[in-house]
Amino acid sequence: MEAWIFLSIAAAAFQTLRFMLQKSLSMGTLSSGGATFARFAYSAPFAATVAAGYLIWSGVGVPDLSGRFWLFVLSGGLAQILATWCVVAIFVQRNFAVGITFKKTEVIQTALVGLLVLGDRISMAGFSAILVGLVGVLVLSDPPEGSGKWSSRLMNRAAGLGVLSGAFFAVSAVGYRGATLEIASNDAFLRAVVSIAAVTASQTIGMSLWLRWREQGQLGRVWAARRQAVWMGVTSMLGSLCWFTAFALQNAAYVFAVGQIEVILSLLASVLFFREKITARELSGIGLLSASILLLIVLG
């Protein structure tokens, strides 16, 4: 098994654990913004420590960080903040597995962003897979009351947040891959840890300023929730470490495509930990969306 495939699977597993913790924090303890901030604030110290430790251990200095590197870091970091905010908001609307499946439209959208930004072409077979995914999104986007109207399927809040989160995650993935490629080193792990440290530090600073301005009191609540939030920081850092290293080795669309195993993991978490019931319609939507992602890997 190639290293980037193993890293993508590991990243999906860590990310599932992190979203489980994040959902728990967003259910009464913290606001969507507070839960999003906690994810970055508690991972930033770990990321900085790992980066510093690896640079010292490897005996190399801090690499030159160009303006393009910081452009990729800041744009990718902002997109990830907005994407995470959307996912946390989804948890309020629908259950855990469906929320994560909505998020997994990032795989399809990353392929589209790659086409627009990098010129990566999608075959007709790959386009067909995208259409299958859109059908899955329509099935999943039925509102809880199940009115059955097409307008309700397309316009409800959960569907919009899910598709939007996927778009932001796609932009962040392309940005992070770009950041790792801007560092002049053959060491993929070094490029990953330096990029992670820069991203999480900028995200923590930016969101702390935002919360102080717009959601006074949330910073104190994030600190009060530290005993649980610190584990979210650990799983977040480990997941990011795997994602970033995989991005340094392979196209972001393929990395996210392998990471679709998160759909299965989130379904298990939904049933086993949150005691939530998955309807037959939701299983059908999850199946269609998962099939589209697999088709995108095999045929795209």
pLDDT of residue 3: 83
pLDDT of residue 108: 76
Distances (CA, A) of 149 to 134, 152, 158, 169, 237: 16, 5, 15, 29, 42
Portion of the chain with pLDDT greater than 70, in percent: 75
pLDDT of residue 279: 74
Distances (CA, A) of 52 to 45, 188, 197, 250: 11, 16, 9, 25
- Residue 121 CA, chain-centre distance (Å), reads 23
Residue 295 · residue 110 · CB < 8 Å? no
Q: What are the domain boundaries of the chain?
A: 3-299
Read off the pLDDT of residues 29-80 as tens digits, 9 standing for 90 and up: 677 788 778 888 988 999 999 999 999 999 888 899 999 999 999 999 999 8
**pLDDT tops 80 at residue 178:** yes
**pLDDT tops 80 at residue 99:** no
Lowest mean pLDDT among 92-96, 166-170, 292-296: 92-96
Read off the pLDDT of residues 109-118 as tens digits, 9 standing for 90 and up: 887 787 777 6
pLDDT of residue 32: 72
**pLDDT tops 50 at residue 147:** no
**pLDDT tops 70 at residue 153:** no
* Distance between start and end Cα atoms, the chain: 20
**pLDDT tops 90 at residue 202:** yes
What mean pLDDT do residues 1-12 have?
Answer: 81
